Structure 1
Amino acid sequence: MFKAFKIPVILNVLLSLCIIDGQKPSIGGQPSAVGGQKNTNAKRPNVIIIMADDLDSRQLSCYGGQNLKTTHIDALAKEGLKFHNLFTSEAMCVPTRASLFTGLYPVRHGSFQNHKPVYDHLKSVGHYLGDLGYRVGLTGKDHVTKPKSVFPFDIVAGFEPNCVAPTDEYGLDDIRKYITGSDKPYCLFVMSINPHAPWTVGDTTEFDAAKLKLPANWVDTPVTRRQFAKYLAEVRRLDDQVGEIRALLKETGQDKNTILIFLGEQGAQFPGAKWNLYDTGQQSSMLVRWPGKVKPSTETHALVQYEDITPTLIDIAGGKPVAGLDGRSFLPVISGKNKEARNYAYGIHNNIPEGDPYPIRSIRDHRYKLILNLASDKPYYNRFMMDRNRKDRNTVWFSWVDDTADANAKKITDRFEHRPAVEFYDTEKDPFELKNLAADPQHAQRIATLRTELEAWMKQQGDEGASIDRVYR
């Protein structure tokens, strides 16, 4: 039993956990721990969230991509709201999904390294929406569904759960049964494994590798172009899946009362994207189609993070804010009442178990990005892209290292392996973050301000920095 003198201390801790981005919770009428329910007389909407796997969102034609026309994803953009500034806090699959489901940043949910499990005392979107009368299901990639006590999803057959499977055969029958099998509203996560490596599905004959437009931070080699064509074939496969889900909603008559959300996850498994804190890794895509609520063909530059999605779903379902979550609802942005959602987006990278320890932290506002490399005295190394023992498995990276024809090859590979302690970028002028402005006195005050904000966030999160990037038993 707690003693009376401990109560103020406990309250202070709970309040401190709610202070994110410089905003404090209201003292009067604290939200309940599970989220109470507002007055919801109207029929509440269903929600389907389609999530990609390792998607370079810049390849989507509705986001400016020039290598393929993503017809069905583009249709969502035409019918709804397009977000330009959604960021994952940690550019790898398990932490991103744990943040999506829990509304917490990685250090607080525990999955701050890839495949590190979340803490088993947590609650997630399954609890929060379940308490509000929703069925919460998931089909497809299931990396973050354990323990069941934390992630009480209805697991629905249909999509491939293994992201490295050589095929991604799927069917819609069980999904159809789930979305039509009850009068209770549902929130269904459709988790595709495309376009996650090994890029073995899809029709590559659509693409002429020699004519592909490569990202500006890549080395142009024949191997890179060949692998990129395989990657784009899986983006096409993803786009087709989005089309089939849209058709299913229309076929079952649920398209009018179902919010359809598309999410891009984090960047692709190419050097400089996934497993890094550059925008090509952190920046994602989000499209929201909500008939009667969201104006078609609208766009927003509001800053949001994956941690904000569960609080938004709670808000949509009629629940009150949940105390202690890191994320915040951006429903006012969706409804057009607000243009902004937060001041900063934060980033964390811990490299174990995917390579040598290489902790990184970042913060960005709408334009500027600060990156702190906490182990800059060592070279960056990732075993999936740069395996020293299996060069045959890492053909793209080693084709860059061995390239002698491209004058920029050595500059690009050196930049990737050997990083300064501080990086600072103007992402408006330099979207691929190739010109480090950290030493420019013109930006000294801006860098100092962002660093202060970043360090305050780390302290609030309980993030000790470099020391947490270690092997856990």
Structure 2
Amino acid sequence: MDSPNVLLIHCHDLGQYIGCYDVDIETPNLERLADEGARFANHFTTAPQCSPSRSSLFTGCYPHVNGLLGLAHTDWELDTERTLPQRLSDAGYETHLFGLQHISESPENIGYDEIHTAGRLSPNVAPELHSVNRAADVADTLSQYLNSGLNSPFFASVGFFEAHRLETDEPDEEEGAVLYGYGDRYDADDPDEIEVPGYLPDEPGIREDLAAMRGMVYAVDDALGTILDALESAGLEEETLVLFTTEHGIAFPRAKGTCYDPGVEAFLLARYPPLIDGGTVYEELVSNVDVMPTVLDLAIGETPADIDGYSLVPLLDDARTYSPRDRVFAEITWHGTYNPIRAVRTERFKYIRNFWHNPRVFLPNDVYASRAGKEVRGRYGRPSRVFEELYDLESDPHERENVADEADYEQVRAKLESTLATWMHETDDPILEGPVRPDDYDEMFDGLE
């Protein structure tokens, strides 16, 4: 099998909120990709926030291993140069960046041969740098490149801003600031006509924000269609691995910024006709830390020994033996504030370890300062979170009933506590040594140790 071209498409804050994951929304191009390729039903990210999760996607390492424990536009940078585009470039691929990346303030350090478009993720610049029209612009640029004649296989990272929240002109009178929403350039749905996910309260602000977000989802879907059409026009469908994913759950309470399933779940679609049968659904637990070794396995026939992920090619290829994961790990350390959490999830159970006194449910700023956030601020702020959480996902899929202190679950709790501790020690998690400090925040911890 020849080395495939690789087209990695990614967007913001979308979780599994698309039609082929049983959500009541029409996303025909995403469903087209799933029908022509594979859908990973139980794909989870290493972090419920942008930069750390993306760092795993592009390095094959957990955030606390590659050094990106917070957002790339604040105080954090990757602690490695061995990114996916760098490794592929070294192997003879032409590597290209289209759109956002948000794992470094200096995209030229990531290892791309050519940067066509790039932009810092920040709500105050997002309308200028990333809009629904931007998707078409990136697709047009990509199409021109694909039709210019290729001298070697290519890797292209295509990043869209949608579906990240934006600052609006609507005042938040309680906070003396403005609310975050989804902008008026997208066509919202009727709030009364949509289904509210079971982990969210059915309140007007939740419905209004969900309805508005769906306009961004349609923009993402349209963008995907434009890119798939460009690939088809260039005659490269059969020889290109197409991957489409997002970095964490939707920007709503109990999702983004939390290690509950809605925070770390993400769609993952893959199409590569020589290997993947159309319409395949994989139920195995997979992590976005597995994407990089999967690409390298297909592209160069080997995976690095110095990463944390595992190739999924043996799962796709009946001629090889796949050893399924029995657990995935997730973490968050910094997101605007210090919020250290580590978690392990098996097919049935979720164990969460909290390391700091914080509100019961963390709300990132763009969630807190939203209509949806206003609905839950009081109930999610108090009491303070407990240090251990255990959920039986079979009987409690929305992670409402913490059974960590129940005698019937003591063996499960002890086993998962040990599993998480072992992982933290084996990966040299810095949180084991005490509070993790960004360079500019040392003064916050004076006297704590």
Amino acid at match of 2:96: G
| Aligned pair partner of 1:175 in 128, 142, 145 | 142
Aligned to 1:99: 56
Distance 1:183 1:449, change over 3 A: same
Question: Letter of the aligned partner of 2:27 in structure 1?
Answer: T
* Counterpart residue type for residue 347 of structure 1: A
Equivalent residue for 1:33? Answer: none
- The whole-number CA distance in structure 2 between the counterparts of 1:462 and 1:451 is 16
- TM-superposed CA distance for 1:287, in Å, is 0.9
Question: Residues 180 and 133 of structure 1: is their aligned pair in 2 closer, same or farther, counting only changes over 3 Å?
Answer: farther
- How many Å separate the matches in 2 of 1:459 and 1:310? 23
Shift, 1:94, TM fit: 0.6
Whether the aligned pair in 1 keeps the contact of 2:253 and 2:363 (CA below 8 Å) is no
Q: Match of 1:369?
A: 350
Q: Which residue of 1 aligns with 2:427?
A: 461
In structure 2, C-alpha distance between the alignment counterparts of 1:43 and 1:379, rounded to whole Å: 51
Pick closer, same or farther for the CA change 1:257–1:90 going to 2, 3 Å. Answer: same
CA RMSD, Structure 1 to Structure 2 (Å): 2.4
Specify the alignment match of 2:19 in structure 1. 61
Give the share of equivalent positions with the same residue, in percent. 27
Conserved 8 A contact 2:199-2:398: yes
CA contact (8 A) 1:159 1:192 kept: no
Aligned to 2:412: 446
Deviations 1:237-290 (A, max 9, x none): 101111111111111111121111111220111111111111101011111111
For structure 2, the residue ranges without an aligned partner over 5 or more in a row are 167-181, 441-449
Other-structure match for 1:88 = 45
1:296 aligns with 2:296: no
Q: Which amino acid aligns with 1:446?
A: V
Corresponding residue for 1:394?
A: 370
TM-score using structure 2 length: 0.85
2:191 pairs with 1:234: no
Change (3 A) 1:295 1:120: same
User: In structure 2, do the counterparts of structure 1 residues 386 and 138 end up closer, same or farther at CA, with 3 Å as the change threshold?
Assistant: closer
Question: Which residue identity does 2:187 align to in structure 1?
Answer: T
Of structures 1 and 2, the larger Rg is shown by 1
2:162 is the counterpart of 1:194? yes
User: What is the SS of the residue equivalent to 1:458?
Assistant: helix
Instruction: Give the number of aligned pairs.
Output: 412
Contact 1:81 1:294 in 2 (8 A): yes
Structure 1 residue 204: Cα displacement: 2.8
With 336-345 and 110-119 compared, the bigger mean Cα shift is at: 336-345
1:107-151 CA deviation, whole Å, 9 max, x = no partner? 111111222433454311122111221112121113224545751
Q: TM-score, normalised by structure 1?
A: 0.81
Contact 1:163–1:193 (CA under 8 A) maintained in structure 2: no
Q: SS where residue 303 of structure 1 aligns? A: strand
1:316 maps to a residue whose letter is: L
> How far does residue 155 in structure 1 lie from its aligned partner after superposition?
4.3
Structure 1 residue 316 corresponds to structure 2 residue 298: yes
Amino acid at match of 2:44: F
Change (3 A) 1:154 1:177: farther
Q: CA–CA distance in 2 between the matches of 1:315 and 1:341?
A: 17
Amino acid at match of 1:342: R
Greater shift after overlay, 330-339 or 78-87? 330-339
The residue that corresponds to 1:437 in the other structure is: 403
Q: Higher strand share goes to which structure?
A: 2
Structure 1: gaps spanning 5 or more residues: 1-41, 388-392, 403-409
- Tell me how far 1:471 sits from its aligned partner: 4.0
Following superposition, the deviation at residue 453 of structure 1 comes to: 1.1
- Match for 1:125 among 54, 62, 84? 84
C-alpha contact 2:38 2:281 (8 A) present in aligned 1: yes
SS across alignment from 2:133: coil
C-alpha distance in structure 1 between counterparts of 2:391 and 2:359, whole Å: 22
Contact 1:363 1:370 in 2 (8 A): yes
In 1: Cα distance, 2:32 partner to 2:164 partner: 23
